Structure 1
Amino acid sequence: MNRSELGPALRALREASGKEARTVARSAVMSTSKLSKIENGRAAVSVVDADRILTAIGVSEAVKAEYMAAARAEATEATAWRLYRRLGYHRKQQQIKAMDDTTTLLRIFQTSLIPGLLQTPEFARAVFARKEIGEEQLSRAVGGRLARQAVLYDPAKELQFVILESVLRWGLVPPAVMVEQLDRIVSVSRLSGVDVRVMPLAGFHADVPGHSFAVRDDRTVTVETVHAELVVTDPRDVDLYVRKFERFSSAALAGDDMRSLLEGIRDEFLRKQETGLERPPGCP
């Protein structure tokens, strides 16, 4: 099967399963019209779309592997953020949640922002507010992000985070919000299936961080650039990201050492709050 045949083949699978298009579309977190375009060959099938559709249909692992191989015929896919804006950022959060739900091992490397799964409601709101969307869309996007955080408490999941120390010091929000945010990370770091590590700024480093990325079960890597989200599926490329994550993970602070660093940064933000330093523009 080649990539051009994938859409009609997915339709044949769905029809053989006896499931209606609207039922599969709902489970796959997409509109019925989008599923129809995919099934009729009028829209390209991304790796993420194929994974969600096959999961919604409920095929065997062997069948899923065959179809996913066709979907991965192109090693890297890019989707511009403007398309996600049109879709609605809350829908994007639902799509990410669908991927997280089918992932056993999730590794997140962050060089620029607190990972979404660790964000407080106030921090998440500040992140989405930068996108200049209306209040309703903003609330739905924040709600979608917070709903994803249920995966932190799933005993079947293993979640690993490596965060640069500079991310924890970046003044995107007022000091009071950062204090709560750092407390949140410390709290989550004590969950049994969660491993949070911080790469300190001090000391000699044998590698450079580059950009943020997330690895899901050694199968796919998602990379956020300024203009688009990239999805990488070639096993050789995925392995590059896995090895980079492991190098930084082994060099980062973990456990009590990590929490001690966070508490020190937290205390610095507390002092800034008490002295009124670093108030955002327009604050009295």
Structure 2
Amino acid sequence: MTFDPQRLGQSRSDLAEVLRDQRRRAGRTQTWLARRCNMSQTRVSNIESGKLTPSLVDVELILEALGTEAPVSAEARSLARVANTEWQDQWSSRRRGLDKKQNELARLESISTEFRFFLLSMITGLLATPDYVRASLADVPGDQSKTIAKKLERQRVLYDSAKSFTFLLTEQAVRWPLLPPLAMAVQLDRLVSVSRIPSVRLGVVPLGGHIPEKPLNTFTVYDRRLATVETGTGALLLRDHRDVTAYLRDFETYERHAIFGDECRGLLAEWASGFARRRT
């Protein structure tokens, strides 16, 4: 399926209209449908009014209960897939203020318990030193002090024992010289320190040897319900269980090529020493 960013916001209301129309054509009430689908009547009402985005499972249950014909079922499934996808372009985020984006991420982190980060080309904010955070925002015009402060504040979530984090960083992500050598050495020391936090599992995928996989994007999976995929101009938020499952499988594949624990810390220390020796 091709996603048109212009359509992502409209698809939920279109899906609501299709489902509402099919229920009425079938001569059924929301109460009857809720009972057949093991949902609350409030949930059915919110789906039909467009206030709530139904999952693919919700849509399948509703279509089956109503005996919807194949062409309409196909249309509804297609709309549900798009409705469970959100596009956040970087220009809109910048207009709203990147500190607002940090608030959204903090809320998402507060309600999630299991995190998987695949970092292809850069170190993520949760692992970054203040210098690295500032450098990552250097191309954004205006005063970004609030955004920097909130990025650093979010790092406290790593110490929440109720949560678990797995970070997979490619060698490129670790060694990309975003900062001068000494500052990069400090950043790699930070990775070593974070790797010792009980809730954190940090691994590096070295570029030596044979890696037949071909990763294209940095992505994060929150629990098993949301995957965010970063591009050069924004991020896709995917809630369709098929998309999330696909990224979970990708993560497991890359994880098999990563090194962890003392071996990982030894490699990070070696690279940090290399940066420190350069000094300038």
TM-score after normalising by structure 1: 0.71
Please point out which of 130, 134, 138 is paired with 2:142.
Answer: 134
Residues 121 and 204 of structure 1, relative CA distance in 2, 3 Å threshold: same
Q: 1:246 and 1:149 mapped to 2: Cα distance?
A: 24
Q: 1:216 and 1:189 mapped to 2: Cα distance?
A: 19
8 Å CA contact retained: 2:228, 2:237: yes
Could you tell me which runs of 5 or more consecutive residues in structure 2 were left unpaired when the two chains were aligned.
1-10, 17-48, 55-61, 63-78
Q: After superposition, where does 1:37-56 map in structure 2 within 5 Å?
A: none
Please point out which of 247, 272, 277 is paired with 1:271.
Answer: 277
Matching residue of 1:240: 246
**Is it true that 1:184 corresponds to 2:190 in the alignment?**
yes
Could you tell me which runs of 5 or more consecutive residues in structure 1 were left unpaired when the two chains were aligned.
7-40, 51-65, 277-284
Q: After superposition, where does 1:218-257 map in structure 2 within 5 Å?
A: 218-257=224-263
Cα displacement (A) at 1:106: 0.6
8 Å CA contact retained: 2:122, 2:172: no
8 Å CA contact retained: 2:130, 2:148: yes
TM-score after normalising by structure 2: 0.72
Matching residue of 1:258: 264
Cα deviation 1:207-245 (Å, max 9, x = unaligned) = 112210000011011111111210011111111100110
Q: 1:173 and 1:206 mapped to 2: Cα distance?
A: 30
Matching residue of 1:21: none
Name the count of aligned residue pairs. 216
3-state secondary structure, aligned to 2:256:
helix
Cα deviation 1:115-162 (Å, max 9, x = unaligned) = 11100111101111222x223xx1101011011111100000000100
What amino acid is aligned across from residue 103 of structure 2 in structure 1? Q
Q: 2:102 and 2:81 mapped to 1: Cα distance?
A: 23
- Provide the identity percentage: 39
Matching residue of 1:96: 105
What amino acid is aligned across from residue 93 of structure 1 in structure 2? Q
8 Å CA contact retained: 1:46, 1:77: no
Cα deviation 1:147-193 (Å, max 9, x = unaligned) = 11111000000001000001111111111111111111100100111
Larger radius of gyration: 2
**Is it true that 1:124 corresponds to 2:130 in the alignment?**
no
Matching residue of 2:89: 80
Taking only aligned residues, the RMSD between alpha carbons, in angstroms, comes to 2.5
Matching residue of 2:58: none
